[in-house]
């Protein structure tokens, strides 16, 4: 994604500073008003205006590498996201 595009499902994004140092994953981008559903690190899902989000680049900084916990297969990740979404409904 270039810096001028709206984040899409699967993009890792950083929320504005007033929420603290928070990153999340876009899990729904179907809202026509420009709000996205973001799955935060703690499992909370929030709606946030796309124009306020910064997409995290493919390359991780040293600071971001400290937050890396481990790898997960695509299938396991999809199951985890589905489980988290279902817990909210």
Rounded to the nearest integer, the mean pLDDT of the chain is: 80
Distance CA 89, CA 85 (A): 7
Q: For residue 63, is it within any domain? A: yes
Q: For residue 67, is it within any domain? A: yes
pLDDT class of 42 with cuts at 50, 70, 90: confident
Q: What is the pLDDT of residue 19?
A: 62
Q: For residue 5, is it within any domain? A: no
Q: How far is CA 86 from the centre of its chain?
A: 17
Q: Of 33-37, 54-58, 59-63, 79-83, which gets the smallest average pLDDT? A: 59-63
For residues 44 and 69, the model is more confident at 44
For residues 22 and 28, the model is more confident at 28
CA angle 81, 44, 13 (to 5 degrees): 75
pTM for this predicted structure: 0.58
Q: For residue 79, is it within any domain? A: yes
Domain count, the chain: 1
End-to-end CA distance of the chain: 30
Q: For residue 6, is it within any domain? A: no
Q: For residue 80, is it within any domain? A: yes
Q: Which domain holds residue 33?
A: 12-88
Mapped onto helix, strand or coil, the DSSP state of residue 82 is: helix
Task: Note the maximum CA span of the chain.
Answer: 36
Q: For residue 3, is it within any domain? A: no
Q: For residue 1, is it within any domain? A: no
The burial of 40, by beta-carbon neighbours within 10 Å (0-12 exposed, 13-18 middle, 19 or more buried), is given as middle
């Amino acid at each position: 994604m270039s810096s001028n595009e709206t984040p899409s499902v699967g993009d890792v994004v950083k929320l504005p500073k007033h929420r603290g140092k928070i990153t999340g994953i876009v899990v729904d981008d179907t809202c026509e008003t420009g709000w996205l559903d973001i799955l935060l690190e703690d499992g909370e899902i929030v709606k946030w205006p796309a124009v306020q989000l910064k997409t995290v680049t493919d390359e991780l900084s040293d600071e971001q590498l400290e937050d890396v916990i481990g790898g997960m297969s695509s299938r396991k990740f999809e199951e985890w996201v589905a489980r988290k979404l279902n817990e909210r409904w």
